[in-house]
Copies of this chain bind each other. A is one copy, B any other.
């Protein structure tokens, strides 16, 4: 079996859930069959439905499990807001992921699936992150750490979307710049450039104030 390595003393139910999480993240919910999941977990297909009722039930359980994992990430984030305010580098969601989860974790890919399939769970997650980003920006503005924005909601969405983009397009970015941006090396290069743009901008304002 491919999952023996981390079975340990987990219950069969947990083993099935983990196998499903990994397969769902890699291949997508629809492309994964109950038989694949059962095989990956080293059990019979009937046991999967015994524990989770149906494939939808399993999916719901996996969603809930991943949701809890993301929530803990959330808590860590709240805690690190102080650092974000104190330091002068932007702590991206991708960076938080890379720090919170081991390299082989299927959770980043699972978040990707959630956001891309227009899943309600993904929408809820995005909404919470958006609110948190919005509040963080407000706090930063209060202490004068950000340049004021005429449209704080759009700015929050812009920053959040930029962060998530790295997660969504990780593979394409890796191919383009030659290094996986979720490795420490890639993260360093990425963060440096992001910080530069967010602090000084990327383009020089046109001298003439006359615009169409």
Q: Is the CB of B161 within 8 A of A88?
A: no
Tell me if A176 and B153 are in contact (CB < 8 A): yes
Q: Which of B31, B122, B198, B212 contacts A30 (CB 8 A)?
A: B31
Using known A-B contacts A130-B176, A161-B166, determine if residue A199 contacts B204 with beta carbons closer than 8 Å: yes
Contact between A204 and B145, CB atoms less than 8 A apart: yes
Flag if A169 contacts B177 (CB, 8 Å).
no
Q: Mark A194-208, 1 if CB is under 8 A from B, else 0.
A: 101111111111100
A88-B211, A164-B169, A176-B126 known; A205-B200 Cβ under 8 A: yes
Contact A198 B200 (CB under 8 A): no
CB distance from A138 to the nearest CB of B (A): 13
Q: Name which of A8-16, A46-54, A66-74, A185-193 contacts chain B.
A: A185-193
Task: Identify whether the interface residues of A are mostly helix, strand, loop, or mixed.
Answer: helix
The interface residues of chain B lying within 8 Å CB-to-CB of A144 are 204
Contact A198 B199 (CB under 8 A): no
Within the complex, the shortest CB–CB distance from A97 to chain B, in Å, comes to: 16
**Beyond the given A140-B203, A199-B203, could you list 7 further A-B residue pairs with CB under 8 A, ordered by the A residue number?**
A127-B172, A145-B204, A147-B202, A154-B190, A155-B202, A157-B176, A198-B202
25 A-B contact pairs sorted by A residue (CB < 8 Å): A28-B30, A82-B212, A88-B206, A88-B211, A112-B116, A118-B171, A122-B172, A123-B171, A126-B176, A145-B204, A146-B204, A147-B200, A147-B202, A149-B193, A150-B192, A150-B196, A151-B192, A151-B193, A154-B190, A155-B197, A157-B173, A162-B162, A164-B169, A168-B168, A198-B202
